[in-house]
Structure 1
């Protein structure tokens, strides 16, 4: 039987609920006594209060980090736009009645009552401080521009969230991305997405290891980081797969792993070939018509997950410091097996 056929089979019906690939309890460690205060600057309110282009220019001068790191392109395609050009485009956008209505929708979605973003960020940052006591909570700002800026900017000291990207299915406008990517652009995606980028600070890799295995394990460590920092977040939200896809993938991992081994892909170094398995794609047709894209990232997480299960004394910081992907694979004992 071909793998493409096997992917339609639910191996054991009782496994349908076992879609999570992490033994970490949803409760996580006790972080109640850790201080990680977050105060979000809602820059969109100040921006939309502007009454002229000059007001917008004054706004940009007040928050120079926006021009430096958030607005990388203007609608005309010019990179690193001047403040005057950027201000003109922004003012044109905020004067648009449709965008004003869009902002009202976002205000409603991201109110403290419906989506307490500050509270979620504080919980996540408390977990980061639990594992990394030297962690300093970055400044957090939100903004709405009509998709003129990036979706997220994350650095050690500053986080900027473009709320217009994360309104979800209920809002008037969605970001111009492929349909399969929209799953990652909803209110619940903000915190895990931020944590994924934040993991880069701690995720050690071997620079000269260009293998697909190294890429897979690198992604797996980042997903494991997110799960530890937001233990109640569903795995499907962390990795961007639907529950149905995650269940089918979990139940088919023995065959998926066999494909990687039999085709000698783990130590592949060709960027073109590697991107077929860890790059952004809706599907992985090389394996089968129902195999989701970026399947190598998920398998990398399984490897890391089994490594942590086999080595319970290894802490998350120790995992993140372990740069040797082959060591993690060997000590994981992972061969595509489903959890007992």
Structure 2
């Protein structure tokens, strides 16, 4: 650990700050192709910040800034020999790290799916930088989060729905704690960072939120190379129910005059993760509004060509003609 402190002081004396990392890093499961020939996609090296912190070895200068930011966010304070030792001795961190390594030990098979996502991102969003991604043991309930242009992936949140310590989570959350969720979650976190829901209207409509969520789902599918069902996180029976009852759900939304309501709680109840969509009933899978939103966007794209970045702006999701143009 003393080696780390000496290095940090040396870097600051020379440059005045710690340089941001050059390589994006990540751990993820083996997932469907993101498109393009594998040979043409450069895999991304996986840097394990969790391993570096537990070993106390931060001699790799690309890990210094991410470690500092993480310590500040997680309440450990300034990164130094003392706080690093406290972190490394934390029993819960060690327990989660051991479990994480049992699932995420082999990093080589995970580098190419993330490389494909980065290639897709650079193609679809050429004016936006792909963030540096760091594998950690996350101290938060949030599994993937961003800070200071860095993206942290809590691998301890992707150990499988049957992992015993997950028992306290409700089932609708626990079933999403699988390796297969990692790529969609990373894609969504990056997209929400760069293209948050930011309506210009003081009182945005429910329709604008549905259109935004639908655009987000389409962008995630194209970035991560996964299906609509995988992005939404539904099992086969839930997806089958939604497809069978799509018209009924839409007619309910229209009939109850939800579309142009400016009730933010109503919008949230339609799109937020939940055991069921309460405004429809307990038989309807949670966040059914996202499914409807994507179906509208899908219909829109069948009729009009529009770049994905534009879909994620108020120019689209607050457009007065978007629904009409979708012919949904």
Match of 1:110 among 104, 109, 118: 104
Question: After TM superposition, which residue ranges in structure 1, 4 or more long, deviate above 4 angstroms?
Answer: 26-29, 31-37, 80-89, 98-102, 202-205
The residue correspondences of 1:232-251 to structure 2 (distance < 5 A) are: 233-251=226-244
Residue-by-residue CA offset, 1:196-240 (whole Å, 9 max, x unaligned): 122232467532151111111111111000111123x23222112
Query: Does the C-alpha gap of structure 1 residues 27 and 103 become closer, same or farther in structure 2, counting only changes over 3 Å?
Result: closer
Structure 2 residue aligned with 1:13: none
Structure 2 residue aligned with 1:199: 191
Moved more, 149-158 or 274-283: 149-158
The residue correspondences of 1:57-76 to structure 2 (distance < 5 A) are: 63-68=64-69, 72-74=73-75
Structure 2 residue matching 1:168: 3-state secondary structure = coil
> C-alpha separation between the residues in 2 aligned to 1:222 and 1:156?
22
Residue-by-residue CA offset, 1:112-150 (whole Å, 9 max, x unaligned): 47x8332111111111122233444432211125x3584
Alpha-carbon contact 2:207-2:259 (below 8 Å) kept: yes
Alpha-carbon contact 2:276-2:284 (below 8 Å) kept: yes
Uncovered stretches (5+) of structure 2, i.e. residues with no partner: 1-31
Structure 2 residue matching 1:268: 3-state secondary structure = coil
Residue 41 in structure 1 maps to residue 47 in structure 2: yes
Alpha-carbon contact 1:307-1:332 (below 8 Å) kept: yes
Query: Does the C-alpha gap of structure 1 residues 99 and 205 become closer, same or farther in structure 2, counting only changes over 3 Å?
Result: closer
Normalised to the residue count of structure 1, the TM-score between the two structures is 0.73
Query: Does the C-alpha gap of structure 1 residues 149 and 89 become closer, same or farther in structure 2, counting only changes over 3 Å?
Result: farther
Larger helix share, 1 or 2: 2
Residue 127 in structure 1 maps to residue 120 in structure 2: yes
Query: Does the C-alpha gap of structure 1 residues 189 and 294 become closer, same or farther in structure 2, counting only changes over 3 Å?
Result: same
Structure 2 residue aligned with 1:272: 265
Normalised to the residue count of structure 2, the TM-score between the two structures is 0.75
Query: Does the C-alpha gap of structure 1 residues 148 and 257 become closer, same or farther in structure 2, counting only changes over 3 Å?
Result: closer
Residue 165 in structure 1 maps to residue 170 in structure 2: no
Structure 2 residue matching 1:41: 3-state secondary structure = coil
Aligned length: 292
Q: Which has the higher contact order (CA 8 A, sep 6+)?
A: 1
Structure 2 residue aligned with 1:188: 180
Query: Does the C-alpha gap of structure 1 residues 38 and 237 become closer, same or farther in structure 2, counting only changes over 3 Å?
Result: same
Uncovered stretches (5+) of structure 1, i.e. residues with no partner: 1-25, 75-79, 335-340
Residue 252 in structure 1 maps to residue 245 in structure 2: yes
Query: Does the C-alpha gap of structure 1 residues 120 and 254 become closer, same or farther in structure 2, counting only changes over 3 Å?
Result: same
Q: CA deviation at 1:249?
A: 0.7
The residue correspondences of 1:1-340 to structure 2 (distance < 5 A) are: 30=36, 38-50=44-56, 63-68=64-69, 72-74=73-75, 81=77, 87=84, 90-93=87-90, 96=91, 100=94, 102-112=96-106, 116-144=109-137, 147=139, 150-154=142-146, 157-169=149-161, 171-174=163-166, 177-200=169-192, 201-202=194-195, 205-208=198-201, 210-231=204-225, 233-311=226-304, 313-321=305-313, 322-323=315-316, 324-334=318-328
